[in-house]
Chain A
Amino acid sequence: MRAILGRLAICAAAAVVLALLPFTLSGLNQVLAARVALYFIAILGLNIVTGYTGQISIGHGAFMAIGGYTTAIMSADHHTNLIATLPLSFAIAFGCGVVVGLPASRLSGVYLALATLALAVSIPQLTLKFSHFTGARNGISVDGTVGYLWLYGVSWACAAILFVVAWLVLRGRTGRAFRAVRDSEVAAASSGVSLVLYKTLAFGISAAFAGVAGSLFVLATNGYAQPDEFSIFLSLYILIGAAVAGLGSLWGVMGGAAFVALLPNISQSAPLIRSIPVGGQDIAAGLVVVLVMLLLPTGLAGLLQRMALAASALRRRSGIPTAERG
């Protein structure tokens, strides 16, 4: 009980900080914070399928593209309110996730990963084929412009809602089934957990999260959707974020999201790098990613776990009873 109250207090504090934050930020930093939110959502989604269900996907850029194009097309062609396109993105991406997840549940490990990679590479190509809807390489723009504060508010509101959704899904029956699938498929199946159902469900939920993130990604790109934005590198970025976050922890995700959103800024402002005219950013980004993985191979989640272990060991030694772990 105390643990839950404590977590609620942390959540409330986080909400207050996030609500007040934009008033201390410049316009540029509001956009940056909005990017943190959208990567937060995407990584959270990936974490559900990879960290909690044990299925590796490197194609989440594909679902982001689906969400992003949903928003752009609905707004440009049907003048749908931008906020109203977000649940639509969620639903359409969920549908696509289920359609993909159903056959994908037959695959595991690297085969699944590369099947999702194939998806990530194919979706931007399909936008070229259906240029009537997508504008091909000239892209498609939402109706109207997107303000910074609006973007910040909508992004973080989505992040908060989806965080709660993820928490509710993962703490209950479904979450236990996911973890059972991750820990041992045979054991899960023999105790009555349907592998196909839960693998597909996890894929669908995860895709839906990515869809909303994709909508926000397009909105943060001045509402402009274009196939080159959803290159394979976007999927890899999300994967990097998930690795920095660490698998299976909701709290590490925030750190992973901030890392991915800030990576271009880190690499732009590295002092030595600025003297390298071309390629400096890539060098810096590559070095930072490699170093972070060398230092934190299990991500922030692993670090938090180790810190918690150390703290409880310390308490035990000093005779203070440790709080019950809920």
Chain B
Amino acid sequence: MRWKFGFLAFAAGVALIATVTSATGAQKLDPGVTAKTIHIGGTFPFSGPAALYSAIPLAERAYFLYVNAHGGVNGRKIQFTYYDDGYDPSKTVPLTQKLVEQDKVFADYGSLGTAPVLATRAYLNAKKVPQVLVATGDSYWGTDYKKYPWTIGWQPDYPGEAKIYAQFINSKIPQAKIGILYQNDAYGQNYLNAFKSGLGASGQSKIVSAQSYDVTAPSVQQQVVALKVAGANTFVLFSTPAATIQALVIATKIGWHPTEFVNNVSATETFMALATKAGGNVEGAITAGYVLDPNSAAETSKPGAVLGKHILDLYDGGKSIFDTNDMYGLASAWTMVQALKNAGNPPTRAGLMQALLSLNLKGNPWLYPGFTEKTSATDHFPVEQLVLARYHSGGPAGIGSFDPFGRVFNNTH
């Protein structure tokens, strides 16, 4: 009797399992998607020379947690796995393989740095895994889409930004004698070349000196001295944050007070505040931006800045200072959530790419007010607007702000 009952129970169990598996099998979910979750992941530098960008993935995680607490994406919670690659492509590759093959993520989201993204692009495209909203301003992500249809960037590209500085100098500073400091690699040269072509033939004669530096050098003192000696009165920096801070402080210390242009990735309020504290005079430094400045007097009490601070207080605890890197993370994550919402239900990888290639988003709370994110089958650059901003030191909490001025530049790519 007992045996018989056992057998019946066993048979019933088998039948049950069979029906359950066939039911889920029929749905055929993409990897990383379950009835309750969507798993995405990315690689970021938490250590090494680019570790100062680690605020970005932490802000992104904070926004995903906030979305999860408010019901998730079509009822699914976002699970965000991030790994530290130290900005070294030979580490990015195995970590990305791990994300795809072991963690089985739905998409590689927000991975940071040109070289790390280049190193994994062919692999992810071969596996048809979306590599989306990568955090680098090179233009490959928007131009190479025929060969790499699963990759897309987000932010305005570096050449577009450089051309805006050139335009501004041509029209507003006729007496400019331009001195340029640039990093001696593709990043710096991309900026430099676009800047030169933006100046045009007549504008280029205004360049009195262009000095390069290497990231491994302990100091950029010699380069800054050389620019001063060359008689420059307009200082254009295409550099990374550590060198930027050094250069700005050294300029003040050697008694050089040019008009300063700082490229976007180095121009956060935190870096400017560091330069100020170290004795640099960076009042009035100009940059081109696209995300909201939470410290700007015009923005600090607006809904975007307030909500951003609220989210970061809740989920990225202990931060006392918010800057444009935090806003970058929130703005990028917001875009990702919008795309996931439109990626189908259940979401599919193809659906996600489709959603990202038909963006028409207004009202990202953390982009500069009025900026839009638009893409199409032929336009793979989500954010293509920039506005110039001037640094004013000493806002709330002792930190300054970049206050936008002038018109908005559209279609910067």
Spell out A's residues near B (CB within 8 Å): 26-28, 31, 121, 125, 128, 131, 135-139, 141, 145, 217, 220-224, 226, 228-229, 231, 234, 264, 277-279, 281-282
Contact = CB atoms under 8 A, between A and B. Distances in A.
Contact of B115 (A27, A228, A231): A228
B102 A128 contact: no
A28 B114 contact: no
A31 B114 contact: no
B240 to A, nearest CB: 11
A145 B114 contact: no
A195 B77 CA distance: 68
A221 B186 contact: no
29 contacts: A27-B97, A28-B97, A28-B101, A31-B97, A128-B214, A131-B186, A136-B185, A136-B186, A137-B186, A137-B187, A138-B115, A138-B118, A139-B89, A139-B119, A145-B123, A145-B126, A221-B93, A221-B119, A222-B93, A222-B120, A222-B122, A222-B123, A224-B93, A229-B88, A229-B89, A229-B90, A234-B90, A264-B94, A279-B46
A217 B94 contact: no
Contacts of B89: 139, 221, 224, 226, 228-229
A143 B138 CA distance: 22
Nearest to A124: B216
B119 to A, nearest CB: 4
Nearest to B115: A226
A221 B121 CA distance: 12
Interface of B: 46-47, 54, 84, 87-91, 93-94, 97-98, 101-102, 114-115, 118-120, 122-123, 126, 138, 184-187, 189, 214, 216
Contact of A278 (B54, B90, B94, B102): B54
A222 B90 CA distance: 9
Contacts of B88: 228-229, 231
A137 B185 CA distance: 6
Contact of B114 (A121, A131, A138, A221): A138
Given A128-B214, A224-B93, A138 B186 contact: yes
A interface: dominant SS: helix
A202 to B, nearest CB: 27
A164 B46 CA distance: 42
Contacts of B98: 28
A217 B90 contact: yes
Contacts of B87: 228
A224 B91 CA distance: 12
Given A128-B185, A221-B89, A222-B123, A139 B115 contact: yes
Given A26-B101, A128-B214, 13 more contacts: A28-B98, A31-B94, A131-B189, A138-B118, A145-B122, A220-B93, A221-B90, A228-B115, A231-B88, A264-B91, A279-B46, A279-B47, A281-B84
B90 A27 contact: no
B145 to A, nearest CB: 17
Nearest to A127: B185
A279 B216 CA distance: 22
A37 B123 CA distance: 22
A79 to B, nearest CB: 16
A28 B102 contact: yes
Contacts of A223: 122
Contacts of A264: 91, 94
A65 B102 CA distance: 29
A125 B98 CA distance: 30
Contacts of A277: 46
Contacts of B84: 278, 281
B184 to A, nearest CB: 6
Contacts of B46: 277-279
Q: Which of B84, B90, B101 has the most CB of A within 10 A?
A: B90
Nearest to B94: A31
A197 B184 CA distance: 40
A128 B184 contact: yes
Contacts of B119: 139, 221-222, 224, 226
Q: Which of B87, B88, B216 has the most CB of A within 10 A?
A: B88
Contacts of A141: 118, 122
A118 to B, nearest CB: 13
Contacts of A279: 46-47
B410 to A, nearest CB: 28
A28 B102 CA distance: 8
A65 to B, nearest CB: 11
A181 B8 CA distance: 80
A106 B101 CA distance: 50
A144 B87 CA distance: 24
A279 B54 CA distance: 12
